[in-house]
Amino acid sequence: MSTPQSTPQGLPDIIRPYGDTTGDAMVQVSFTLPIPHDKRAEGAALQLAAKMGLAPALLVHAKAMGSDFTFFIVYGSVSHLVDLREVVVIEREFPMLSAKDVNAAIKKRLGRKLVVVGACIGTDAHTVGIDAILNIKGFAGEKGLEYYTEIKVVNCGAQVLVPELVARARAEKADAVLVSQVVTQKDAHIHNTMTMSAAFREAYPAGKVPLLVIGGPRFEQGSAAALGVDRIFGKGTTPGEVASYLVHAIGAGQVVAPSGA
Ligand code: B12
């Protein structure tokens, strides 16, 4: 749920960044330009900083990245103000449950194990994120979904093609499909997710599509509907959050008895 925030007591409504002294509006940015490191490159970096609204701007670091690129760090003052009253926070729409409560809820509501099929799709080989959610050893002190007695986990691994994922989900009668996308070059995560969700909608009858859950560090919050998925999880997600969400989705009638279609 998105809600405009009222400023907590004791905080001002308007703030500026802090660098050396309170309210000096100093920020530090880093970027790479596709030119060799020389005086012209440093001037180009400062020109970019000025166009970004940093004035005055100091070039604090410039380093050649091979022969054709230069990496910069610029420190400067911005004129923009932050209005805390306009900050919108997307809040978790479900309560956090213990593993015991998750298992009990699945048993009561489904009367069988919840089947989860997970994969890293496309050419993406970054499996650490999806493994953190699925593998029994888990993440951040929480056990992964394999630990839950009422969840059957099928981890298909990395570089899974979408048709293979759809076939596996159908064969396993998946209730939920958990997909990871870490590489974002050329918006690969967006394209792969949309291809995946379209393939599931095509392969299953309306209303029988498994719950589609996507995760990765660089998805835009609030873009689930546009991507054709039910839920997005971002940086720092823990397995307990995902398990709690799955129970919430069952409760909301989003998990339907798989048709085997
Ligand atoms: C480890 C790593 C690798 C390892 C991956 C090993 C493996 N088995 O996973 C190796 C060395 C193979 C690798 C290769 C490459 N990598 Co790499 N890699 C990383 C690194 C350092 C860490 C990623 C990681 O493990 N994070 C830890 C996990 C726990 O975090 P996470 O993935 O965000 O997952 C959490 C959440 O996002 C969420 N989540 C993630 N998925 C899912 C799914 C679901 C369903 C849910 C609910 C939640 C969820 O939950 C997780 C736990 O909180 C990152 C840089 C970084 N510091 O992030 C670069 C990075 C991701 N790699 C990058 C690149 C470019 C590559 C290569 C293309 C490099 C190259 N030129 O060869 C190749 C690509 C290989 C391929 N085909 O995919 C770039 C991506 C840039 C971009 N914009 O896309 C990064 C950001 C580094 C960088 N700054 O340049 N990489």
Tell whether 143 and 25 lie within a shared domain: no
Tell whether 117 and 232 lie within a shared domain: yes
Question: Does residue 184 have its Cβ closer than 6 Å to ligand 1?
Answer: yes
**Domain span at residue 184?**
94-251
Produce one character per residue of 168-197: b if its CB has 16 or more CB atoms within 10 Å, e if not: bbbebbbbbbbbbbbbeeeebbbebbeebb
Domain count across the chain: 2
Give bridge partners of residue 114 from the DSSP assignment. 151
User: Would you tell me how many other CB atoms lie within 10 Å of the CB of residue 42?
Assistant: 16
124, 126, 139, best to mutate for ligand 1 pocket (most atoms within 8 Å of CB): 126
Catalytic one of 137, 143, 152, 208: 137
**Domain end (from 84, 107, 136):** 84
Residue among 232, 208, 237, 238 nearest 220 (CA): 232
Produce one character per residue of 112-125: b if its CB has 16 or more CB atoms within 10 Å, e if not: ebbbbbbbbbbebe
Tell whether 220 and 136 lie within a shared domain: yes
Tell whether 54 and 148 lie within a shared domain: no
**Domain end (from 52, 84, 116):** 84
Instruction: Give me the CATH number covering residue 64.
Output: 3.30.30.60
What does the pLDDT profile of the chain (261 residues) look like in tens digits? 444 556 777 889 999 999 999 999 999 999 999 999 999 999 999 999 999 999 999 999 999 999 999 999 999 999 999 999 999 888 899 999 999 999 999 999 999 999 999 999 999 999 999 999 999 999 999 999 999 999 999 999 999 999 999 999 999 999 999 999 999 999 999 999 999 999 999 999 999 999 999 999 999 988 999 999 999 999 999 999 999 999 999 886 666 655 444
User: Cis omega before residue 56 (within 30°)?
Assistant: yes
Active site residue 152: no
Tell whether 129 and 221 lie within a shared domain: yes
Question: Does residue 183 have its Cβ closer than 6 Å to ligand 1?
Answer: yes
Domain contains 197: yes
Domain contains 89: no
Between CA 31 and CA 54 the distance in angstroms is 14
Instruction: Give me the CATH number covering residue 245.
Output: 3.40.50.280
**Domain end (from 84, 113, 128):** 84
